[in-house]
Structure 1
Amino acid sequence: MTSILLVMRKGYGIHGDHIETLRRLGLSVHLLTEVPQAADDPRFASVIRIPPAERESAVDRAIEYCRAHGISLAVTFQETDIEVWAAINAALGASTASPAAAAIARDKSRQRRFLAEHGLPTPAFLEVVDVEQACIEAEHMGFPLIVKPTRAASSMHVTLATSTAELRSRLTAIETLARSGAGNYYAGKIETFALLEEFLPGDEVTLDGVVIDGELHLGGIHNKMRMPGPFFEEDLYSLPFKRPEEEAGLFDIADRICRRLDLRRSLFNVELRKDAGGAYRVVEFSPRVSGGHVYRNIRDVYSIDLVAAHVASCVPARSGLVEHALRRSAPRMATCIKFVYRSGRVVENHSGPASLSESFVAYFPTARPGAIVRAAPGGFDITGLLSVKGLYRGPGDIERVEHGAGELEGALGLVIVNEAP
Structure 2
Amino acid sequence: MSTVLLVHAKGGPPLGHVLSRTAARAEVHLLALSALPPAVAGAARRLCASVVTPADAHRSDLVSLIVKRAEAVGADAVLTFSEYAVVAVAEACEALGLPGAGGASALARDKRLMRRTWQEHGLPQPEFRAVATEADLRDAAADLPCPLLLKAAWSAGSTAHQIIRSPHEVSGAWRRSREVMAESAQLGFAELHVAEAQGDFVVERIVTGSVADWFDEPGWGDYVSVEGVVADGTFHPVCLSGRMPTVEPFTERAGITPALLSPDAQDRVVALAREAVDALGLRDCGTHTEIKLGADGRMWLIETAARFGGAMTVPQIEEVFGLDLVGMLVDHLLGRPVEWPEQALTPAQAHGAAGSLVVLAVDGRGQAWQDRRVWDFPAVSAVVPLSRGSELSVVAESSLADGSVVPVYDPAAGANTMAALCLLSATDARTVLRDFETLIDALPRVLPAVRPSAVQPEEVSV
Q: Same fold (TM over 0.5)?
A: yes
**CA 1:10–1:346: 2 relative to 1, 3 Å:** farther
* Counterpart for residue 47 of structure 1: 51
* Counterpart for residue 197 of structure 1: 204
Asked if the contact 1:364–1:386 (Cα under 8 Å) also holds between the matched residues in 2, the reply is yes
- Aligned to 1:323, the other structure's residue is in SS state coil
Structure 1 counterpart of 2:381, which letter? A
Residue in structure 2 matching 1:253, options 265, 272, 290:
272
Residue in structure 2 matching 1:283, options 302, 310, 315:
302
Residue in structure 2 matching 1:206, options 202, 225, 230:
225
Q: Which has the higher contact order (CA 8 A, sep 6+)?
A: 2
Q: CA deviation at 1:79?
A: 0.7
Q: CA deviation at 1:272?
A: 0.9
Q: CA deviation at 1:125?
A: 0.3
**CA 1:324–1:238: 2 relative to 1, 3 Å:** closer
- Structure 2 stretches lacking a partner, 5+ long: 210-221, 362-368, 458-462
Structure 2 counterpart of 1:272, which letter? I
Residue in structure 1 matching 2:253, options 235, 240, 252:
235
Q: CA deviation at 1:303?
A: 2.1
Residue in structure 2 matching 1:167, options 160, 166, 170:
170
Residue in structure 2 matching 1:323, options 326, 339, 348:
339
Identity of aligned residues (%): 22
Structure 2 counterpart of 1:389, which letter? S
- Aligned to 1:61, the other structure's residue is in SS state helix
**CA 1:12–1:109: 2 relative to 1, 3 Å:** closer
Matched, 1:364 2:389: no
* Counterpart for residue 388 of structure 1: 424
Residue in structure 2 matching 1:80, options 47, 61, 84:
84
Q: Distance in 1 between matches of 2:26 and 2:198?
A: 44
Give CA-to-partner distance per residue, 1:242-298, whole Å, 9 cap, x none. 213211112112222332333232111111113466411111111101112100111
* Counterpart for residue 318 of structure 2: 299
Structure 1 counterpart of 2:208, which letter? P
**CA 1:398–1:271: 2 relative to 1, 3 Å:** same
The RMSD of aligned alpha carbons is 3.2
Give CA-to-partner distance per residue, 1:48-79, whole Å, 9 cap, x none. 10234686522212211111221131111111
* Counterpart for residue 155 of structure 1: 158
**CA 1:277–1:143: 2 relative to 1, 3 Å:** farther
As a proportion of its length, which structure holds more strand? 1
Matched, 1:338 2:357: yes
- Structure 1 stretches lacking a partner, 5+ long: none
**CA 1:149–1:53: 2 relative to 1, 3 Å:** farther
TM-score by length of 2: 0.79
Q: Distance in 2 between matches of 1:212 and 1:414?
A: 48
Give CA-to-partner distance per residue, 1:94-139, whole Å, 9 cap, x none. 12211x3211111111111011012222210011111134224312
Q: Distance in 1 between matches of 2:100 and 2:313?
A: 21
* Counterpart for residue 311 of structure 1: 330
Give CA-to-partner distance per residue, 1:292-332, whole Å, 9 cap, x none. 2100111221223322221111113xx24x22888968011
Matched, 1:62 2:74: no
TM-score by length of 1: 0.86
Give CA-to-partner distance per residue, 1:335-394, whole Å, 9 cap, x none. 2211101389996555666289852353224354568834134743222111101113xx
Q: Aligned pairs, how many?
A: 414
**CA 1:69–1:295: 2 relative to 1, 3 Å:** same
* Counterpart for residue 213 of structure 2: none
Q: Distance in 2 between matches of 1:158 and 1:119?
A: 25
Q: Distance in 1 between matches of 2:296 and 2:161?
A: 22
